Amino acid sequence: MDTYKHKQLHVSLVIPAYNDERYLKVALDSVAKQTLMPDEVIVVDNGSSDGTAAVALSHPFVKLIKEGRSGVGFASHAGFLAAKNELIARIDTDSVLAPNWVETAARYFELHDDVAAISGKCYFYDYPMRRATSSFHALFQHYLQSFIAGTNMLWASNMVIRKSVWDSVIADQTIPVIHEDIDMSLKLHKAGYSIKRLRKLVASVSLIRNQTSLSYIWEYAMIWPDTYTKNQQIIKSYLIRILATLLFILGLPLVFIRYAQQMFNRKKF
């Protein structure tokens, strides 16, 4: 007999989007296949010049809003402000969710009143060595970053937070150029909230959405220490800057493998 008596929590899913029509369609198709549909799906168009808005509106369950200020932080913030339900899920346009993703998140929060936010496991769907790259991501995103920060870390492509917590800690914050998931994690930790990593909350993503230029990767890496600086953690910021440089160098072979894969695909077709 089913003895489940916890209140069912409702979920708002937020997806910031900028010129990502191809990725967004795949992400929304994975949302449509959920065993438990989110109560609302908010796509925030951050000034796209392609068919992103049309793709969003082609899915009848999507609510499309606009954010004119350029930057994923502004777009995400606008989506969180518009969300109406007890739980706010946050993914990216290249996130492909496991079919039970929403159900897994909702049930976990229903059973764990003490948890403020959760994040999950990653696979890269457009890169070879799927298990190896997933393990590397877990090592970096979860274990290494958690050790540095002193708390489990959220990951913006696969995370859920209680709206009441976000309203009390994040909603009135300014949005500089930072990694919003790291910033959110640090602020929640400072406020005494609990973050958990749920291995069975699974999302697959593209490997940096084909943005494999060395300059882009370097600029992206340096936002990591900048996020700590803006949270007044100066010593950690300097240490992370050194670590990010080392990771950039170690990651160069992955970039070259990706270049080779792209060249092979072009020749193939």
| 238 and 143 both lie in a single domain | no
| 150 and 223 both lie in a single domain | no
Tokens of 219: 């600029």
| 203 and 225 both lie in a single domain | no
- Cβ atoms 186, 173 nearer than 8 A: no
| 156 and 259 both lie in a single domain | no
**Is 1 inside a domain boundary?**
no
| 163 and 121 both lie in a single domain | yes
**Is 6 inside a domain boundary?**
no
**Is 61 inside a domain boundary?**
yes
Query: In the chain, how many domains are there?
Result: 2
| 201 and 216 both lie in a single domain | no
| pLDDT (tens digit per residue) in 74-128 | 999 999 999 999 999 999 999 999 999 999 999 999 999 999 999 999 888 877 7
Q: Given this model, what pLDDT does residue 3 score?
A: 36
| 123 and 178 both lie in a single domain | yes
DSSP 3-35: ---SPPPPEEEEEEESS-HHHHHHHHHHHHT-S
Q: Given this model, what pLDDT does residue 4 score?
A: 39
| 222 and 190 both lie in a single domain | no
What pTM value is reported for the model? Answer: 0.85
Phi-psi bin for 99: left (phi > 0), alpha (psi -120 to 50), beta?
A: alpha
**Is 4 inside a domain boundary?**
no
| 184 and 130 both lie in a single domain | yes
| 114 and 231 both lie in a single domain | no
- The helix/strand/coil state of 121 is strand
| 261 and 159 both lie in a single domain | no
**Is 26 inside a domain boundary?**
yes
Return the number of other C-beta atoms located less than 10 Å from residue 113's C-beta.
8
| 55 and 139 both lie in a single domain | yes
Average pLDDT by stretches of 10, the chain with 269 residues: 58 96 96 98 97 97 96 94 97 97 97 96 80 75 87 95 96 80 94 96 81 72 88 90 82 60 53
Whole domain around residue 197: which residue ranges?
11-210
Q: Given this model, what pLDDT does residue 210 score?
A: 53
CATH number, domain containing residue 71: 3.90.550.10
Q: Given this model, what pLDDT does residue 2 score?
A: 38
